[in-house]
Amino acid sequence: MPLASGTIRNPVLPGFYPDPSICRVGDDYYVANSTFEWFPGVSLSHSRDLIHWEQVGYALTRSSQLDMRGDPNSGGIWAPCLSYADGLFWLVYTDVRTWVGNFKDVRNFLVTAPAIEGPWSEPAFMDGVGFDASLFHDEAPDGSGVGRKWFVQMVWDHRPGKNQFGGIMLREYDVAAKKLVGPATNIFPGTKLGLVEGPHLLKRDGWYFLTCAEGGTFTTHAETVARSRTITGPYEEMPGNPLITSVPDPKNPLQSAGHGQLVETPAGEWYFAHLSRRPIVKGRSVLGRETSIQKIVWDAQGWPRLAHGGILPAVEVPAPGPAAAPFAELPARDDFDNPALGVQWQSLRLPLDEDHASLTERPGFLRLKGRESIVSKFDQTLVARRQRAFHVQASTVVEFKPETFQQMAGLVAFYSTDSFYYLFLTKPDHAAVALGLMACERGHIWYPVEKELDVSHLERVYLRLEIDMARLRFYRSEDGGEWFPVSGELDASILSDEHATPIAFTGNMVGMACQDLTGSGKSADFDWFEYREL
């Protein structure tokens, strides 16, 4: 059924777009999302009406801004905060580098840009106290405009017997010195829901409002609210907390609601952008955590509430006005004719430069040069894009002449180096070139097809995967017209947070990969890649 003009349909950013931070500049809205171990870092999306959204790029596009070499799966970029003040966009982000036992090694940085498209500055290091940091631009006491800036973040406490989510810390940021100054104040311990994180501050009617994610990011996730007359507290909890959660209704289409930020429209209406999930079988969310939006009203006591009542997220929400013209959709097929990869593509942990992913060495092709194995957290050659619908088809054609079994290239459905499926060409003992299928579930690698299929007679091999909810199947073709299944039906639900290792926060990606364990950089040429939502 078509939506009425002026209706928001959730999720507004389907697929792997978690931890939204939203801000408005004039009539334009922008959202920044976590990207974890995928590079470039921090996806940036734009809307004119809160209904239609377009991804416009990434903030962290250089190794000098983000070096995730060796970062763990679901490490890297956690919960960025996007804001606008003093004629600049400000972006705070966390790079999570390790976690072992009770320890987490994190680094918080700040970058700025004159426009959402950049150029984004070199990063200023803030601290390593905790993750999910944000920046609040306070107004001057006399109302003259620019005031003090405050860095807000959760505190990670590694000590035995302590609550690891050690409350919300506040510290002043010195713009001229580009560093944090003055005392650190723990302003809020969280509510009884626990696991307080994702803090954002805003000021309204003389109150400082603190919104926080609590309860963990899975089924018990929620967003809570507290307020104070002074920025350093004490903060009182909102009666009837949380603001939003999916806990009371496990059948609500939007689960795990929480972790978001409030935004005001030009007309003075309020909305809340938050993450949510849409689980399929066994409570697993192959699409990952997505971005949704709810309308907010302020009650008689001055607290924010969901406009439709209660605390459950809604799929359909009134927009602040009529729908603007939708953005142009990306073409289903990328023929690799442009001088740079499109905004839909990302790589693992490090940028893919011309030495490893070339669009110029063979014009009209993406040439991938093999590096380490598909489970490497260091130098891996893999290019992928988000799965954004429950039923999708991804196809490509590759030319690859391996010289050894240590060289591989092909098509992937990829959640992490611990969870993926890989349809690949290689050189086994029985053929010059053969097609094999590899699976990895929670770090255990197995082969759904025992013996690789001889394709030595083909100059190019067409590869396809189709995912329908929790069902995944791979196909091959000699001409791109007639397709044959490579194996039986596979379980796509293993490509989800809920089934991956204990700390897992991303979503399934589909794309292309190439490995050369000999170190000689054997290349594979991909003529095109086609992604369709069926």
Per the CB < 8 A criterion, the answer to whether 336 and 360 are in contact is: no
205 is catalytic: no
Tokens at 134, concatenated: 């944000």
Return d(Cα 355, Cα 523) in angstroms, integer.
10
Of 185, 274, 273, the closest CA to residue 235 belongs to: 185
429 is catalytic: no
Q: What is the DSSP letter of 500?
A: S
The β-bridge partners of 490 are 472
Helix (H, G, I), strand (E, B) or coil at 344: coil
Per the CB < 8 A criterion, the answer to whether 387 and 287 are in contact is: yes
Return d(Cα 368, Cα 356) in angstroms, integer.
6
Q: Is 364 exposed, middle or buried (0-12, 13-18, 19+ CB in 10 A)?
A: exposed
Return d(Cα 375, Cα 420) in angstroms, integer.
10
Return d(Cα 282, Cα 147) in angstroms, integer.
50
Catalytic residue, chosen from 49, 71, 132, 197, is 197
- Residue with tokens 């809160």, as numbered in its chain: 50
Return d(Cα 107, Cα 100) in angstroms, integer.
16
Catalytic residue IDs: 19, 197
